Structure 1
Amino acid sequence: MPRSKAASVPAPEATTRDHIVEVADALFYQRGFDRTSFADIAAQVQISRGNFYYHFKSKDDILAAVIERRAAGTQAMLEAWAGESDEPLERLRCFARMLIVNRKDIQRYGCPVGSLCTELAKLEHPAQGQAGMIFGQFRDWLREQFEALGHADDAHALALHLLSRSQGVATLANAFRDEAFIRHEVALIDAWLASLVPPARARRRAS
């Protein structure tokens, strides 16, 4: 949502820091955390090394800020989906359609959460658990939707199934660079979700 002109203007330091994190977020996704250097980020932000180190002392500090930014973005996205419909099925479809909305980036770079978690695991990086918590945000939100759909007993398992299925689609879409594959798989997921709607609820939706 665009800011109003009356909104307070952040301090220059905060603006510079936010810009650093935004650029680092994109570079970590496109190139990978390990292959992105301080110099790469500073060059794109167009600030001096001294100014850069004023905001962040290490690349791990930037990584922590990037993970925090992604977690906040994920939470905002989940809240937006929740506000789009009162029906849990439609909310679940929003999650599945995320693969189509982000198909260009997914085909080129993979899933931003999955790729970062995989890389940090290979590096045995201490932040691996923090990055994985974003998957936890999705899992918990999906579980709530399946519970609302009438699957309280197996909501957790269904949430993990949908989450893992979406990750599989993202991984293969990145490997094959195949948009038709993404759309086909999302259609299958959509049909599967529709099959989970209890008959009584389906009748209420149709009436």
Structure 2
Amino acid sequence: MPKPSLRDAIVDAAVAEFHRHGYSGAGVAGIAAAAGAPKGSFYNHFRSKADLAVAAADRFVAGNRAEMLDDPAVPRALDRVTGHFAFLGSRLESTGVEHGCLLGNLAADTAVDEPVVAAHLDGVFGGWAARLTDLVRTAQAEGDVDEALDPALTADLLVAMWEGVALRAKVHGDGTAARRQLDEGVRRLLGVR
């Protein structure tokens, strides 16, 4: 297996540092040190901290197993949606509920002062909601989700609910409560008993 590149090491360190300390609390020097790289080498790979935040967000998203939403081995769309959110809940617990969701943290930290990062995150959330919209429509056609629901609005609410659960988990630090809120929230938003 090839050795990870210095760029990859910096991105991995940024994911961890941004997740623990937020965008404002994580500095380039600390991220470079965590990656075992000299601070100056950071600028060989990234123009700015904002560019690194975009790469870190994408790395984090890659770990969210979005491919579960398209898994042909799971024939029902509803099962793909509920399975995906169940995975996110378990990932939240394994990375430490006190850190919340990296995407939500970055969005809150960069919405005003880092428009490039905020716009990228808006696109990430929008792409996720679009995939969920298609699955809600499919689940409606399969008879598993109420046809009266607006698929796009339901998808947006699922994304917003996830971020809300992750944010509250940061405050109360209870992974069990977060998983219960997530499981029940997904089912209620989809009109499933």
Q: TM-score range by the shorter chain?
A: 0.7 to 0.9
Partner of 1:93: 82
Give the alignment of 1:87-166 within 5 angstroms. Answer: 87-97=76-86, 98-105=88-95, 107-150=97-140, 151=147, 154-166=150-162
TM-score by length of 1: 0.76
Alpha-carbon distance in 2 for matches of 1:127, 1:106: 23
Structure 1 residues 188, 16: closer, same or farther in 2, change over 3 A? same
* Distance change >3 Å, CA 153–CA 181, structure 1 → 2: closer
Are the equivalent residues in 2 in contact too, given 1:33–1:116 (CA < 8 A)? Answer: yes
The structure-2 alpha-carbon separation of the partners of 1:100 and 1:70, relative to structure 1 and needing over 3 Å to count, comes to: closer
Q: How far apart are 1:88 and its partner, in Å?
A: 0.7
The answer to whether the Cα contact below 8 Å between 2:158 and 2:189 also exists between their aligned partners in 1 is no
Q: 2-side partners of 1:69 and 1:153: how far apart? A: 32
Structure 1 unpaired stretches of 5+:
198-207
Are the aligned partners of 2:97 and 2:173 in contact in 1 as well (CA < 8 Å)?
yes
- Alignment partners' CA distance in 1, 2:62 and 2:160: 22
2:182 counterpart (171, 179, 186): 186
Number of equivalent positions:
185
Alpha-carbon distance, 1:155 to partner: 0.6
The CA distance in 2 between the partners of 1:29 and 1:170, in whole Å, is 12
Whether the 8 Å contact between 2:13 and 2:35 is mirrored in structure 1 is: yes
Q: Which deviates further from its counterpart, 54-63 or 127-136?
A: 54-63
Q: Say which one has the larger Rg.
A: 1
- Are residues 43 and 196 of structure 1, via their aligned partners in 2, closer, same or farther at CA, if it must alter by over 3 Å? same
Matched residue, 2:143 = none
- Equivalent of 2:49, from 56, 59, 75? 59
State the identity as a percent: 25
Q: CA offsets per residue over residues 103-123 of structure 1, 9 Å max, x none? A: 243521111111111110143
The residue correspondences of 1:35-74 to structure 2 (distance < 5 A) are: 35-74=25-64
